[in-house]
Amino acid sequence: MCEDGTRPLVAGVDGCPGDWIAVMREIGPDFSPRFALFRQFTDLLALSPAPAIFAIDMPIGLAERSGPGERGPESCACPHLGERQSPVFSVPTRAAVMCEDYREACTAALATSEPPRKVSKQAFNLFPKIREIDALMTPELEVHVFEVHPELGFWRLNGERPMSLPKMIRSQGSIPGIEERRTLLERFGFPADFWHQPPPSGVGADDLVDAAVNSIIAKRILKGEAQSFPPEPERDAGGLRMAIWA
């Protein structure tokens, strides 16, 4: 309980085109989840009452140079996900992420990776949101804001086994995979009628299940039950922790 007698609030956050979708819930067995759309992440940080934990599906902490494989968090997460690891994309270096032009980003990535690698279009499309988070984050804010990944969250809730069905097929939401994840979330307390609410324009069913699982991981973080991948995170040049939590 909080000092005023209310239950702590946590938020699971996922990026969607132009906005952020957040699923917020109280800590306790009989919670009432709700979702809301936010234009900027600063709007989330300004919420009152403020969530104790924000679990956000967005890279936090950027390497100056990258070697073989992925950034540390992705290297640790992918082996657990089997066929479901494709949504875990390689995060380019800081120099590449700061570029607003795709060709410039590829040039910067080639110059700061070994072996040299260009930037995927999927990663480049997320650069504005990664830059938004990077501009806001400080080591002090890390007690409230944690990087997560939905598929690693589902792996954790699914008895540390990857989900059997893909959530996306050819960049489109797959109903069987989304239903599989909704069923798992209901086992962890989400009411079935939560999915009957029409999401805001531009928010897909996949975005909503991702934000929902992130909210459960936020609860795990608050209760001290989550683990970081890797177990001993490195920090970037700005002192930011580089880890995915589940």
Instruction: Write out pLDDT tens, residues 108-122.
Output: 999 999 989 999 998
Please give the helix or strand (H or E) that residue 236 lies within, else none.
none
Q: Which of the residues in the chain have pLDDT under 50?
A: none
Retrieve residue 3's tokens: 């000092």
All residues at 6 or more sequence positions from 143 whose CB lies less than 8 Å from its CB, including other chains: none
What is the per-residue pLDDT for 104?
98
Task: For residue range 82-132, list pLDDT tens digits in order.
Answer: 877 666 778 899 999 999 999 999 999 999 999 899 999 988 999 999 999
What is the per-residue pLDDT for 200?
82
What is the per-residue pLDDT for 82?
81
Q: Where are the domains of the chain?
A: 9-60+144-222
What is the per-residue pLDDT for 70?
61
What is the per-residue pLDDT for 170?
78
| pTM metric for this prediction | 0.93
What is the per-residue pLDDT for 86?
62
What is the per-residue pLDDT for 231?
95
Rounded Cα distance, 229 and 208, in Å: 24
Please give the helix or strand (H or E) that residue 75 lies within, else none.
helix 72-81
Query: Angle between the 205-222 and 150-157 helix axes, to the nearest 10 degrees?
Result: 60
Q: What is the CATH number of domain 9-60+144-222?
A: 3.30.420.10
User: Which residues, listed in sequence order, are joined to residue 22 by a DSSP beta bridge?
Assistant: 13, 36
